[in-house]
Structure 1
Amino acid sequence: MRHNQGAPGARVLAFGGYQPANVVTNDHLAKTMDTDDEWIRSRVGIAERRVAGPEESEVDLAVAAGGKALAASGLPASDIDLVIVATCSAEALIPNTASRVAHRLGIEAPGAFDINAACAGFCYALSAASDAIRAGSANHVLIVGAEKMSQWVDWTDRTTAVIFADGAGAAVVGPSDTPGIGPVAWGSAGDKADAIYVKDRSSFLHQEGQAVFRWATTALHPVARLACERAGVRPEELAAFVPHQANLRIVEAIARKLGAEQAVVAKDIVLAGNTSAASIPLALSRMIERGEVSSGGLALLLGFGAGLTYAGQVIEIP
């Protein structure tokens, strides 16, 4: 039996992000539930979020973000031979999202599959893409985190409606002579899986906010440090820290415990809300667009969410 030999390393070539046009502010939500701007900002740090209309699916969001990442990479669609979509809000499980996204972007006959690791999904997909390239199973990979969380949220329930939002973020990953994506540090806490769940097809998302907050602020900074250790990088060498945008208080607590004071910390949560698997690539793409981070710098990505799943890795910023 023959085994393919892939590239020595893999790296992210480009990012792209997309948000729906419809902005929902805290004042909008205060008209339909018992809440106000101060209550929301003090607890989760969110000022506004984007919500897709009924005519815009998670596939549409993924195509928009994926198209931007592909254009930024400078590669033709014909160079992509694997498409991975991370999502936990697909409107239908069959067919998968990845094959439809590939078709609409003009990517012919790629490998295509979805990953559901909830809010950690993008980091899981990035690790899978890196491994596929280094193993010789793929040469260039398009990965997309895309979520339409609004269709799974009860918009009268302030414990979830004030947090979740819609959007997509994407990256193109390619071969490299030197590593541009560090080894993943990942895992799960299945004993806490009932902290975030959707019971069945006719139910809305349920979240035990305090339980998730306690877990995230105590269990995840060691994972972040382990990802740095596996990449051979000290936290003080990081140019950016891009955790899942779950809650501003969680983001700030993990960043403080990580001890990377010099790093730019992503706080996309304020204007984008929690977009689950889309939040990390969406946040980093916006940081790149605004010039907050420079090409060649090191960024620590850290995803975590329902499952409870988590994953982190250090990447070189394209």
Structure 2
Amino acid sequence: MTGAKILAFGGYQPDKVVTNDDLAKLVDTNDEWIRSRVGIESRRVAADDETVTDMAEAAGAKALAASGLAPSAIDLVIVATCSPLVPMPSVSAIVAHRLGIVAPGAFDLNAACAGFCYAMDTASNAIAAGSARNVLVIGSEKMTSWVDWTDRSTCIIFADGAGAVVVGPTGGDEPTGIGPVVWGSAGDQGNKITVTGRTGSMRQDGQAVFRWATTAMAPVALEACRRAGVTPADITAFVPHQANLRIVEAIARRLGIPRERVADDIVHAGNTSSASIPLALSRMAEQGRLQPGTPALLLGFGAGLSYAAQVVTVP
């Protein structure tokens, strides 16, 4: 069986920046309160006419260009998203068409904030099984479409954006570049993050999610390392879902991963759900914070409650 690896990254953020001071004009909050609780200084918000599909296309185009592959080389497109305004047509099929990818397999995947890691494993397995040669994996979210801007518990956190990777086969005796996934769910806590009805707003029990993430996710990450044959000391980049800076730092401490190796995209990007991991990867690559050929640890977790972790090799 053929292994799989990441070939390239791509990221996209909307132009509009919303600061904590901007939010203080809408709800009872202030810059210090937001920074101390979730670590966010600013976030990006999509324009009214900017869609999940538009952002997925922008990120996917960057990843495809960076990979050096022609659109004809892509035969599967997976878009992880939980925030499209309509359930069909799928975001993936429209994005593929816009990018000039002819007749690929295409589907959307919803595992909320863990969606990108689920999609990565799906892409890796498709390549290993011979069902696909090269896969475009995108996480794209317009979370602000589902935010109640008078609800302080959610409007200070969520934001919009997209991130993408191209996944291709390993060559010869090259080891696989996408390690075994460790995934699962806690459906008994599914009511902690919800959207009620087709026009409802997002609601979450922030304290319950915080306790769950900071206690349950470190063992998942450790198991992903074990299955990949590495230790946390070997990890050169830890890229967890950018849910809350306090959660990110708490998990990193439990794993013993130094702060400088930990993604902190949430500070200026906010929580973009399934887009947060690929967007953070793209940002770290741009900043020169990724070391090619070394192991990076990905960890997604969120509504469902669903989670997934895997070790990947930095391209």
**Which TM bucket (shorter chain)?**
over 0.9
2: CA distance between counterparts of 1:48 and 1:288? 21
Residue identity matched to 1:41: R
Deviations 1:201-244 (A, max 9, x none): 12100100000000000000000000000000111001000000
Deviation at 1:262, TM superposition (A): 7.4
2: CA distance between counterparts of 1:37 and 1:154? 19
Deviation at 1:250, TM superposition (A): 0.1
| Residue aligning to 1:3 | none
2: CA distance between counterparts of 1:278 and 1:291? 20
| Residue aligning to 1:22 | 16
| Residue aligning to 2:153 | 159
Residue identity matched to 2:69: L
| Residue aligning to 2:27 | 33
Say whether residues 1:182 and 2:179 are aligned partners. Answer: yes
| Residue aligning to 1:90 | 84
| Residue aligning to 2:119 | 125
- Which aligned pairs between 1:183-222 and structure 2 lie closer than 5 A? 183-222=180-219
1: CA distance between counterparts of 2:144 and 2:259? 35
2: CA distance between counterparts of 1:135 and 1:260? 34
2: CA distance between counterparts of 1:265 and 1:160? 24
1: CA distance between counterparts of 2:212 and 2:264? 20
Deviation at 1:158, TM superposition (A): 0.8
Deviations 1:240-276 (A, max 9, x none): 0000000000000000001223761000000000000
| Residue aligning to 1:246 | 243
2: CA distance between counterparts of 1:219 and 1:81? 36
What SS does the corresponding residue of 2:22 show, helix, strand or coil?
helix
- Total equivalences in the alignment: 312
2: CA distance between counterparts of 1:77 and 1:46? 37
Q: Indicate which of 299, 302, 311 corresponds to 1:302.
A: 299
What SS does the corresponding residue of 1:225 show, helix, strand or coil?
helix
Residue identity matched to 1:208: D
1: CA distance between counterparts of 2:43 and 2:144? 10
2: CA distance between counterparts of 1:285 and 1:296? 16
2: CA distance between counterparts of 1:51 and 1:117? 22
2: CA distance between counterparts of 1:21 and 1:95? 26
Deviation at 1:55, TM superposition (A): 1.2
- Which aligned pairs between 1:261-300 and structure 2 lie closer than 5 A? 261=258, 264-300=261-297
The answer (yes or no) to whether the contact 2:242–2:277 under 8 Å persists in 1 is: yes
| Residue aligning to 2:109 | 115
The answer (yes or no) to whether the contact 2:252–2:259 under 8 Å persists in 1 is: no
Residue identity matched to 1:290: Q
Q: Normalising to structure 1: TM-score of the pair? A: 0.97
What SS does the corresponding residue of 2:230 show, helix, strand or coil?
coil
Residue identity matched to 1:237: D
2: CA distance between counterparts of 1:293 and 1:163? 26
Say whether residues 1:80 and 2:74 are aligned partners. Answer: yes
| Residue aligning to 1:139 | 133
Gaps of 5+ in 2: none
Deviation at 1:293, TM superposition (A): 1.5
Deviation at 1:179, TM superposition (A): 0.6
Greater mean deviation of Cα atoms: 273-282 or 253-262: 253-262
Deviations 1:262-291 (A, max 9, x none): 761000000000000000000011101110
The answer (yes or no) to whether the contact 1:236–1:260 under 8 Å persists in 2 is: yes
The answer (yes or no) to whether the contact 1:239–1:262 under 8 Å persists in 2 is: no
1: CA distance between counterparts of 2:14 and 2:152? 21
Gaps of 5+ in 1: 1-5
| Residue aligning to 1:232 | 229
Deviation at 1:119, TM superposition (A): 0.2
- The ranges of structure 1 where at least 4 consecutive aligned residues each deviate by more than 6 angstroms after the TM superposition are none
Residue identity matched to 2:130: G
Deviation at 1:124, TM superposition (A): 0.2
Q: Normalising to structure 2: TM-score of the pair? A: 0.98
2: CA distance between counterparts of 1:263 and 1:315? 18
What SS does the corresponding residue of 1:271 show, helix, strand or coil?
helix
What SS does the corresponding residue of 2:289 show, helix, strand or coil?
coil
The answer (yes or no) to whether the contact 1:241–1:263 under 8 Å persists in 2 is: no
Residue identity matched to 1:106: G
Residue identity matched to 1:276: S
2: CA distance between counterparts of 1:68 and 1:59? 14
Deviations 1:109-147 (A, max 9, x none): 000001000000000000000000000000000000000
Percent sequence identity over aligned pairs: 67
